[in-house]
Amino acid sequence: MTADGRPVAGTVMPSLFDPVTIGATVAPNRILMAPLTRSRATRSAVPTPLMAQYYAQRASAGLIVSEATAISRQGLGWPYAPGIWSEDQVAGWRVVTRAVHEAGGRIFCQLWHMGRMVAPQFLDGRRSVSASATIAPGLAHTYDGKRAYARARALSLTGIRNVVNEYRQAARHAVLAGFDGVEIHGANGYLVDQFLRSSANRRRDRYGGEIGNRINFLLETTEAVVEEIGRDRTGVRLSPNGAYYGVNDDEPEKLFVAAAAALSSLGIAFLEIREPRPEDTFAKPDRPPIHPLIRKAFQGVLVLNSGYDGRSAQDALSRREADAISFGRPFISNPDLPERLRSGKPLATRDITTWYTQGAAGYTDYPALA
């Protein structure tokens, strides 16, 4: 690239359909499947055979990142979402990963702790935990309908160490379950994001205050996962632009550039950035794009997400803004999304009313191209 960001004459621009090496994983294309909560696990957070069929149908993605998967009972606050803390959950996921691999795919497990977004109904009336004693806005989805969030309990230093170890154990369980790696969910207003951003983190110890402290929880979690399964099997997802469930930051450019530089020094396999584009109908940015600054700070594989179609995704690759693009909602109704983008065939329409239901309708019944 030249100093003003233009490609050097004679360089070959990467295509969405070119392979890319992501740590220990060689993805055959740069069309990744983003994590998508779909609520098809059991109430005990055990993956089901229906989930194996769903993910196997989408195995042509360069890499699948699973739906958000709880590292502990304390971290789970969404109905029928899966976990990976118990033997039964590991066994359930093993059926899923086997199906994906037999279909020729690759799959990472997204590790999730919702922090203050866990309503008391999921914790037998106990309080959720967060960086600070704050309360999430809005209402939680529970098995008994929508309910108010309660004020979270600030994690003690011992509590922080325990949660970091839960991430370590979850990464170990993911490998035992057959996943090719894991992605730490550090985005969308959940626990890691609650530590990162100033609106939710009011601590005055080594995990709060200045930016260098607020990134410590993310770094310690990532270091624990790297130690357990290797840097070449570890990814992270961040959401630097816009508020999520009341979580935002006063200086997101400085914060996320610092976080990206620190993650780069750990040598992780990839960093995924969820940053809504103006065309995204589900979320809106609150400032100019931050990912160009992150691109300069992070030396590994950078993945961009949210609101892309085939043309805008290819444009981002051609401008070297990213090494791959992850697609979420398009994969819901288009199990063969890479082929549809390659052939220019129209995308199927998704049915929003079935996103979080428990059956096959709107889940495994979307057909591939003939």
Give the amino acid at 25: T
Distance CA(316)–CA(306), nearest Å, equals: 12
- SS3 at position 35: coil
The answer to whether 190 is a known catalytic residue is: yes
CA dihedral sign of residues 338, 41, 283, 133? negative
| Catalytic residue (one of 55, 190, 363, 366) | 190
Phi, psi dihedral angles at 211 (to 5 degrees): -55, -40
Residue keyed to tokens 């990467």? 14
Kindly state the helix (H) or strand (E) to which residue 327 belongs, with its residue range. strand 324-327
CA angle in degrees (0–180, nearest 5) for 41-45-47: 45
Distance CA(47)–CA(83), nearest Å, equals: 8
Q: What is the DSSP string of 50-83?
A: HHHHHHHHTTTSS-EEEEEEESSGGG--STT--B
CA angle in degrees (0–180, nearest 5) for 208-288-131: 20
| Close Cβ partners of 101 (under 8 Å, ≥ 6 residues apart) | 107, 178
Which CA distances in Å does 367 have to 97, 297, 345, 347, 358? 21, 41, 13, 11, 19
Distance CA(331)–CA(285), nearest Å, equals: 22
Positions marked active-site: 190
